[in-house]
Amino acid sequence: MALALAALVAPLVACAHDNIRGTQIEDTPENREIVDLVAAYHRAIEARDADAVLAMVSARFFEDNGNTDREDDYNKDGLATTLRADFERTKALTLDIRVDEVEVDEEAGHADTFILFTVRGQAEFPAGSQWKTKTDRSRLRFAREGNKWLIISGI
């Protein structure tokens, strides 16, 4: 009986993969690279460093906000303007990001990262200081450009 059980369990153990620490994501070089990029993005946002965020963004960046309203669409230049204005009036900011899934398609040259985030911030507006909190799910899409991944949507 023990031999039969061992024969059944051995293939399961042999196929087991390690996960990236703190995630349920398989620890592969590609997945680790993307998770590390999300961590760098997280640090840049919390530091309110628009230049660091923009250094991670492709010139092909385009965001349609998941709807058909063209009024809220923006490219990298629009992102730069918005980030700088938002960071300038932001007095305090914390961001929590949980990476739930990474899908890398090396052949197609893109990767999708599905995240759950909570952002809390205090910003100055003409009517005064306001604290806001937002929790949502998002997909950051990366494209392989040369030897590195850059964000092409999801911010």
**Does 148 fall in a domain?**
yes
Q: What is the pLDDT of residue 8?
A: 52
Mean pLDDT, residues 109-127 = 93
Tell whether 19 is covered by a domain. no
Distance, CA of 19 to CA of 114 (rounded, Å):
16
pLDDT, tens digit, 9 for 90 and up, residues 43-99: 999 999 999 999 999 999 999 877 777 877 899 999 999 999 999 999 999 999 999
Domain presence at residue 16 = no
Residue 116 inside a domain? The answer is: yes
Q: Is the residue at 14 inside a domain? A: no
Compute φ and ψ for 125, nearest 5 degrees: -125, 165
Whether pLDDT at 10 is above 80: no
The answer to whether residue 48 is domain-embedded is yes
**How do beta strands 74-75 and 90-105 pair?**
unpaired
Domain membership flag for residue 13: no
Q: Whose CA is closest to 142, among 117, 116, 98, 108?
A: 108
Which residues constitute the domain of residue 113?
A: 29-153
Number of domains the chain is built from? 1
Share above pLDDT 90 across residues of the chain, in percent, rounded to a whole number? 70
* Domain assignment present for 138: yes
The CATH code of the domain that includes 93 is 3.10.450.50
Mean pLDDT score of the chain: 88
